[in-house]
Amino acid sequence: MSTRYTKAPVPSTPEELPSYLQAELDKLATVINNIADGHMDVINVAPDKPREGDIRYADGTNWNPSAGEGLYVYLSSGAWSKL
C-alpha cells in the first residue's frame, strides 16, 4: 500500500462522475490512513530535491545513504542520517 496519491483522469460523461469520485475518495482514504499509521514506502532511488526534515525508507541496496536499509532523515547539512 502506498503513501502517494495519483489522480485518475476525470470522466468525460456526468454519469461516470459518482463512481469516479467514490474511487478517488477511497484512494485518498487509503493514503491518509497509511500516513496516520506511520507507513513509509521503501524506495530505491534518492529523492531528486530533498528538503531538510524529509524522512525516507531506503532499501539499502539500490539506494544506500550510508548505513544500509532503514529510515533516514535529511539534515540541514545536506546529509541523510539513519534514524
Residue 49's closest CA among 74, 82, 20, 24?
74
Averaged pLDDT of the chain: 95
Distance (Å, whole) CA 47 – CA 20: 31
Could you tell me the residue ranges of all domains in the chain?
A: 1-39, 41-83
- pTM of the predicted model, to two decimals? 0.75
More confident of the two residues 37 and 3: 37
> Mind listing the pLDDT tens digit for each residue in 15-47?
999 999 999 999 999 999 999 999 999 999 999
β partners of residue 73? 55, 81
Residue 50's closest CA among 26, 25, 13, 81?
81
Q: Which amino acid is at 39?
A: H
Whether 1 shows a pLDDT value over 70: the answer reads: no
Measured in degrees and rounded to the nearest 5, phi and psi for residue 49 equal: -130, 75
